[in-house]
Amino acid sequence: MVLRVEAPIGQTVGYVKQQQSCMAPKYAILDGNMDKVLRIEGPVCICQAICCTADVDFKVLSIEGDQQLGKISKQWSGLLKETFTKADNFGINFPMDLDVRVKATLLGALFLIEFMHFEEKKNNNNY
């Protein structure tokens, strides 16, 4: 799956590409020319992190090494809010001097991660 991020509409600033992985979720952050600039790695078991009342962190990493540059987090909101509402809280951290187009692409990655891993799946009987 590839998500194109545009700002303004019609002008591509980057892409978020889901990577093949049998363990932890992985994403590549690509610039407008489809060159890899960053990568994102999630936890091995997202369900376990949710059940343990903890934040779920997706690490934003450099391409060359394992240097963590930031993170995208689904933040634990408390038992009542998590149980009785569909609202989620997310946070994102990245270096201040990061290119603004890469920052916009990371925001797109946040929305993709929320949709892929935390949005409730609807079946045919539940509208």
DSSP string, 72-86: EEEE---HHHHHH--
pTM to 2 decimal places: 0.84
Question: 112 falls in which pLDDT band (50, 70, 90)?
Answer: very high
Q: pLDDT: is 29 or 56 the higher one?
A: 29
For residue 127, tell me if it sits in a domain: no
Spatial neighbors of 121 by CB under 8 A, at least 6 apart, are none
For residue 99, tell me if it sits in a domain: yes
For residue 56, tell me if it sits in a domain: yes
Share of residues in the chain with pLDDT > 70 (%):
84
For residue 126, tell me if it sits in a domain: no
Give how many domains the chain has, as a whole number: 1
Mean pLDDT over 51-76 rounds to 87
Among 3, 93, 101, CA closest to 57: 93
| Residue 104 belongs to domain spanning | 2-118
Instruction: Give the pLDDT score at 51.
Output: 56
Residue 16 exposure: Cα atoms within 13 Å on the Cβ side: 23
Instruction: Give the pLDDT score at 39.
Output: 96
* Residue in this structure with the two tokens 């038992």, named with its chain if needed: 79
